[in-house]
Structure 1
Amino acid sequence: MNLTDTHSHLYAKEFKDDLDESIQRCLDDGVERIFLPNIDLESIEPMLALEEAYPSNCFAMMGLHPCSVKENFEKDLSLIKDWLTKRDFAAIGEIGIDLYWDSSLLKQQQTAFIKQIEWAKELKKPIIIHTRNSFNEIFEILDDLNDDHLSGIFHCFSGNIEQATRAIDYGNFWLGIGGVLTFKNAGLDHVVKDIDLSRLVLETDSPYLAPTPYRGKRNESSYLKLIATKLAEVKNVSLEEIAQITTANSKKIFGR
């Protein structure tokens, strides 16, 4: 069984004491591919160090997280762009809009999101979209910019069936399904059951959003198996089929 975690911050400080052990637990549970989204300028070094240590298992992305978009975001973006010209990355991410904590920088977040979408098109890379409390704002931008050259993942999808359908209808986008699927009253299981497996990928968002029974504790990529098991239950298929299809989907997205 080969599972793919399409979104994990395993390089975060929460893993500084047991990173190698955490990676080994992933491999023991069949999680053989882990995609690492960038957050800000400070996260680049530990992310690339993890990729270098596990080149067959960990794959770095590059982008500026919406919560990292501050007043000086244009300077940060220029440094992100420099990295994209230096070497290859699996995707542009994690990018998007986050209105959960603060809406005062919406205009700056929109500008940063649009600019990074343009880079993704130029480089023919998928985008990893952060949509917390911002589906309408995300859709407004994608309605203008989506074309055959744009693809990616709606990271940590927890929306309703209408939002899921709209995301998929862009043509080259998938839904990233994580620990929220296992939450008793989240309702994501009712949405996912009506979405074809060909449009789904798995993720943990480690160290955040740990699945049941670890909810509220540190998440890690080895817990992806719990999410895959729940998806198998919702879809009434085997765990092996979930692993095969979602990993194939991830390879289609990332080209690796």
Structure 2
Amino acid sequence: MKLIKDFIEDMYLPKMPFWLIAIAVLVVVATWVPLAFIAKARTTTSAKPPVHIFQDMDLQPRFDAQAINPIFADQRSMRANPAGTVSRDAVINDDHFTYGYKLDAAGKAVVVGPTEEGGEATLNFYAGFPKRVEVDDVFVKRGQERFDIFCSTCHGYDGQGQGMVNKRALELVNINSTLNQWTPASNILAENPQTGNLLYGEKEYSNGKLYNTITNGIRNMKGYGEQLSVEDRWAIVAYVRALQISQHASEAEIAEQP
């Protein structure tokens, strides 16, 4: 019997010392401390800036805006513009060039009454091009480039309103009639059946109005005032007029063009 008992006792490992168990428990608990700090950092706010291990360009040896800079006599870190500096986005005091419509002495848009009963009052748009705009081959070519980039997607390269976006929208409308919310792109070469003039020609749609449409948009068309400079908008106007002349002008009208 004693041999059997000794054999059974030899099968079991000796009992682990208490001090070793205590150390193991402390080590496990200690591993929770970093997790606690991480959880606290992610769930609480602090007025102190974070610790930057990699500085990158967050902290630079520079003077901040409105700070004192002892290098200069006026002690200002922000320097004044050199004499004669003109802001890139400065508004030129030429309402024809900048807006396409007339402004009064107070700087407000001049509005003209309706031309027919039931009509609406409209802005007093300028005819022709501003004096500071020189319409030549280079200018018209620039307008063609901008037109092909920004306008042809809806109006088409020929201006007849058959651009890729317009064609795709009409296809979707034919597939699903519930999507019939698309306003077809205008054909800038279309004629007014009553007058025989172009609907968007200079006689019925002045250059200033066309410029304003490019700038601010109309109906479903968004404005491109943010994407196109003032000069480029007038260049598009010049190209549209050239496009209209190429399709509808008589020999006499072509001869009058510079």
- For the aligned pair, the TM-score class normalised by the smaller chain equals under 0.3
Greater relative contact order (Cα < 8 A, sep 6+): 1
Kindly name which structure, 1 or 2, has the bigger radius of gyration based on alpha carbons: 2
Counting helix residues as a fraction of each chain, which structure ranks higher? 1
Counting strand residues as a fraction of each chain, which structure ranks higher? 1
TM-score normalised according to structure 1 size: 0.22
